[in-house]
Amino acid sequence: MCTNFTPTQRAPWVKEKLGVDLPSGYPDEAYPGYPAPLVVQSHQSGRVACGLARFGLIPGWGKDDKISRYTYNARSETVADKPSYRTAWRQKQFGLVLVDDFYEPSYGTGKAVRWKIQLACGDPFGIACLWDRWKNPATGEWVVSFSMLTVNADEHPVMRQFHKPGDEKRTPVIIAPHLHDQWLSADATVAAELMTWAHMPDLLAMAAPRSL
């Protein structure tokens, strides 16, 4: 599971690849509950926009935001049926969270060591997300939130090395730049077809232990 990533600040790349401007006001590193730049497309007008959304999806029916502690990653195999995600899936609320890299634990030394995963080419990238809107009953505020979509990575040349020995290996789905438009405008059938790591760009991983 991906619980920590670096939201991109590289506005020229975002403008060139997606035609949108980055918002401001998000941290250098993001964890569940933190804001990050999310790109979405209106299925009515076709307009693409980028705004801040909270990491950890809160379904529209949520009584409070506590569920977001468990909904920052969604399994592609079950996302269409799980109560937390199925409405957003059926409503084609597909987005891209824009990042420079993300982090996973490696147990190669016998202990968990944080590793950083990025594109081999060094570019930012978009991770496939499902998003939803939730109205906070206490304040009346509308909150946009998202979950990263993940797939099995047991055979992925890079991502198969992470997580505890014996655990299933998973990877967030990175949408290749030439598929950005297809993902954002997808229906459920096309989205399901894109839920694979086969089209993902090459990845590079390196140890990045936390500083004390």
* Residue 154 reports pLDDT greater than 90: yes
Class of domain 5-105+117-151+172-207: alpha beta
pTM: 0.96
Q: pLDDT tens digits for 10-69?
A: 999 999 999 999 999 999 999 999 999 999 999 888 899 999 999 999 999 999 999 999
The radius of gyration of the chain's CA atoms, rounded to the nearest angstrom, is 16
Tens digits of residue pLDDT in 172-198: 999 999 999 999 999 999 999 999 999
Does the structure show a pLDDT above 80 at 1?
no
Express each pLDDT in 91-111 by its tens digit: 999 999 999 999 999 988 888
Closest C-alpha among 185, 106, 95 to residue 133: 95
CA distance 122 to 204: 9
Q: Where does residue 207 rank: exposed (0-12), middle (13-18), buried (19+ CB within 10 A)?
A: exposed
Sorted by where each begins, the domain ranges of the chain are: 5-105+117-151+172-207
**Quick check: 11 and 21 in contact, CB under 8 A?**
yes
In the predicted model, is pLDDT for residue 211 greater than 80?
no
How many degrees, rounded to 5, is the angle at CA 114 between CA 113 and CA 119?
135
